[in-house]
Amino acid sequence: MANLGVKLYYLRTRERALSQQAAADALGIRQATLSHLERGRSLPNHELLKTCCEFYDVTPTFLLDDARGVVPRPTERWTLRDAIVTVGMTVEAARSDVEPLGDDRTLVHLAPGAEFFDAEAAAIRRSRFAQGSAALEQALRAKAHHERRLERELLDELDEHPRRRTGAAAIRERRTVL
11-15, 54-58, 130-134 — which is least confidently predicted? 130-134
10-19, 117-126, 133-142 — which is least confidently predicted? 117-126
Task: Give the residue among 35, 37, 32 at the shortest CA–CA distance from 48.
Answer: 37
Check pLDDT > 70 for residue 135.
no
**Cα–Cα distance, 5 to 67 (Å, whole number):** 13
69-73, 82-86, 121-125, 162-166 — which is least confidently predicted? 121-125
Which one has a higher pLDDT value, 158 or 172?
A: 158
Helices in 28-165 by DSSP H: which ranges?
31-38, 46-56, 60-64, 119-131, 133-159
Task: Give the residue among 103, 101, 102, 140 at the shortest CA–CA distance from 121.
Answer: 140
Domain boundaries, the chain: 4-177
Q: Cβ(48)–Cβ(15) under 8 Å?
A: no
Check pLDDT > 60 for residue 88.
no
* Beta bridge pairs of residue 107: 99
CA 166 to chain centre: 21
The per-residue pLDDT for 124 is 64
2-16, 40-54, 71-85 — which is least confidently predicted? 71-85
14-18, 100-104, 117-121 — which is least confidently predicted? 117-121
Check pLDDT > 60 for residue 118.
no
Q: How far does the chain reach from its first CA to its final CA, in angstroms? A: 27
**Cα–Cα distance, 82 to 30 (Å, whole number):** 31
Q: Cβ(125)–Cβ(80) under 8 Å?
A: no
Check pLDDT > 60 for residue 111.
no
**Cα–Cα distance, 101 to 11 (Å, whole number):** 35
Q: CA 82, 85, 88, 91: dihedral to nearest 10 degrees?
A: 110
